[in-house]
Amino acid sequence: MTEKNLTMLTDFYEFTMANGYFEKGIADRRAYFDMFFRRVPDGGGYAIMAGVEQLIDYFKNLHFTEEDIAYLRRRGCFSESFLNYLREFEFACDVWAVPEGTPVFPGEPLVTVAGPMIQAQFVETMVLLTINHQTLIATKASRITRAAQGRTVLEFGSRRAQGYDGAIYGARAAYIGGCQGTACVLADRDYKIPAGGTMAHSWVQMFDSEYEAFKAYADIYPDNCVFLVDTYNVLKSGVPNAIRVARDMVSEYGIRPRGIRLDSGDIAYLSIEARKMLDAAGFPDMQIMASNSLDEYLVRDLLVQGAQIDSFGIGERLITSKSEPVFGGVYKLAAVENGQGEIVPKIKVSENVEKITTPHFKQVYRLFDKATGKALGDVITIHDEVIDAALPYVLFDPIHTWKQRVVSDYTVRPLRVQLFQAGKCVYQNPAISDIRSYCLAELDTLWEEIKRFENPQTYFVDLSRRLWDCKHELLESCRI
């Protein structure tokens, strides 16, 4: 596989617009773009931010090769002076983003890119593609691992992922969202996501009998034995052979196998029966792992039915977020500087009311209750507003403005960090295991009502009074 220069992974209209700004002499006017989303997948109450590290890689490597320029010249619609600009291109934007692992909510600017219009516009496709994908999978992983109530959840979906990066970065995002590991070797080698695995049905079939297959595996990997017991018949063949080999192992090596894996059939029934057989044989410590098209709903139902499962391998329904495979982030113009260096807020109106944007260069704050440590809500403000935690703060609903709430005894934290300053990276990516721990800790600051699978309570995301006024003035002014 040859190296892919992802600079060209963009929609064609980014080039027609870039060339257009260039030709019209407005390429260097400073513009502010926000990436945000409108609703949480699966009707959930929160999403988990992910993909920032790959977005930083993209910005750092933005450049056009001679091959790219030759391709664009062949298209016949770009000026030579524009192609020369691309040849000399250096990323010069400021970028802010919510750190990976943070619970985020609809309407919040997760990423803001500010800089020369021609650049801030151009990066749209990759900002969206990168954050949409990983945030989708991290969010799904958070739901599934919460359903497992502390049991181990491993990501097993590479073979059903949507493309190679879907597998690799999907494994990364799943880990951020709460999975303990993956089956994907490349994700371990390159991104330190712990990878593991034991045997497929084909291993069992390669030997003359299931017993010989298990026995051969135990000879080689006595420390890591998980027997796949459903190649022929789980209760009549698989589990009895696993027990027989377990006894061999105890007598030959003094080592006990880790457990068994179920990959088909009625997992609830089979796990309960297998548990009884393992216990009766003197192996209550052998664990039962389950896989087979599971997701948060099936995991929850299995546990409600008393399934005896210690760990879950989750494949296609996690790696594609099958029940809702799209994270609908958008990238919209929020402001432009005029000739005098003043920020002019911009709005996009729409006949679909939920598609109306919130204008201006913004900041986001999260307020926490001092007594409980729980998050009270988020406030989106104009960029230069400061919330003084020494004073009470009035939260109000930006749609139902009569809904107000005065909070005091709170702490406040800006939700976003700066990634780039004038094109230079000013952010150090945390270790992936720290991101995962941070995610779990931040989830603890959300009330359980926000984290319900269905019909969760809506988390407060309010606009400051100044921002609300700005938005409504713009809305009034563009009535047609």
| Interacting positions 309-368 with its own copies (CB under 8 A) | 316-317, 320-322, 325-329, 331-333, 336, 346, 348-352, 355
CB closer to its own copies, 10 vs 445: 10
Give helix 239-253 / helix 210-220 axis angle, nearest 10°. 40
Bridge partner residues of 112 (DSSP): 34, 96
User: What's the min distance (Å) between Cβ of 199 and its own copies?
Assistant: 6
Q: Does 302 bind its own copies (CB under 8 A)?
A: no
Site for its own copies in 225-254 (CB under 8 A): 230-234, 236-237
Distance of CA 20 to the CA centre of its chain: 34
Go through the chain and tell me how many residues it has.
Answer: 480
Site for its own copies in 67-126 (CB under 8 A): 67-68, 71, 77, 117, 121, 124-125
**Cα(124)–Cα(112) distance, integer angstroms:** 11
Helix (H, G, I), strand (E, B) or coil at 330: strand
CB closer to its own copies, 58 vs 365: 58
Among 106, 166, 414, 423, the residue binding its own copies under the rule CB under 8 A is: 166
> Are the C-beta atoms of 375 and 446 separated by less than 8 Å?
yes
Distances (CA, A) of 394 to 373, 389, 403, 407, 413: 19, 12, 10, 6, 16
Q: Does 161 bind its own copies (CB under 8 A)?
A: yes
Q: Which stretch binds its own copies (CB under 8 A): 28-36, 243-251, 431-439, 468-476?
A: 28-36
CB closer to its own copies, 77 vs 394: 77
Helix (H, G, I), strand (E, B) or coil at 45: coil
Q: What are phi and psi of 404, to 5 degrees?
A: -125, 155
Q: What are phi and psi of 416, to 5 degrees?
A: -115, 155
Site for its own copies in 176-215 (CB under 8 A): 183-186, 188-190, 195-203, 205-206
CB closer to its own copies, 100 vs 462: 100
Site string for its own copies, 48-67 (x = CB under 8 A): ---------xx--x-----x
CB closer to its own copies, 168 vs 450: 168
Q: Does 164 bind its own copies (CB under 8 A)?
A: yes
Structure tokens at 380: 């989106």
Q: Does 455 bind its own copies (CB under 8 A)?
A: no
**Cα(416)–Cα(99) distance, integer angstroms:** 7
